[in-house]
Amino acid sequence: MSTTAVPLRPIAKGSLTRLWIGVAAVALAAGGLAWAGQQGVDPSPSAFLTQNSHASGVVTTESGLQYKILSEGTGASPTPADVALVGYKGTLLDGTVFDENPQAPMPIDGVVPGFSEGLQKMKKGGKYRLWIPPQLGYGDQVAGPIPAGSVLVFDVELHDFKSKAELMQLQQQMQQQQGAMPQGAGPQQGN
């Protein structure tokens, strides 16, 4: 059995140094481009909201709430006296998710003002994106993972809503039905 040897040429003197200088130059250039790309970008909430207000499909209300209709629903919109069943995902401007729930009941008048205003614009089955400015969210307060002065971004789907009076009536009917059940008439366990 014979082995064929492939002759390796020696590395020219200084080649490794030139290679490392090239790698460093590329890294510096990438860092410089990243820095240059951030110039002129103001991360403040007011600057973001001003820029966002010019985006296609974004509506800014008198209060400062911004929303975009992703999918229009049908029928009436909820009022402050209603409880909505919603799916939502809440993020910060940097994309950090601070809360999400696919199906949560929420009293319209029991959430931050910007979320309440946004829900009242929606119709059943609708999907909206809301940008809630700090003054309509948590303001200068820290709220769990949400830093003070944050713009809140919500993707919201309005599944359904009912008035608080309707919900109270349903609850009373359920309690009456449970009270009318004979003792031991619940679900039977198998043997």
Q: List, for the chain, all residue ranges whose pLDDT scores fall below the cut of 50.
A: 39-42, 191
Strand order in the sheet with 82-91: 59-60, 66-71, 127-132, 152-163, 82-91, 97-107
CA–CA dist 121, 129 (Å, integer):
12
Residues in the chain: 191
Alpha-helical (H) ranges within the chain are 15-38, 45-52, 113-121, 164-180
pTM (predicted TM-score): 0.70
- Please tell me the distance from the alpha carbon of residue 119 to that of residue 128, in angstroms, as a whole number: 9
Distances (CA, A) of 80 to 25, 104, 118, 153, 167: 60, 17, 11, 21, 14
Residue with tokens 């309707």: 166
The Cα-based distances of 176 to 79, 162, 166, 180, 183 in angstroms read 28, 20, 15, 6, 14
- 45-169: CATH topology: Chitinase A; domain 3 (3.10.50)
| The pLDDT of residue 49 | 96
pLDDT at 183: 59
Whole-angstrom distance, CA of residue 76 vs CA of residue 88: 20
Name residues whose C-beta falls within 8 Å of residue 26's C-beta, 6 or more positions apart in sequence: none
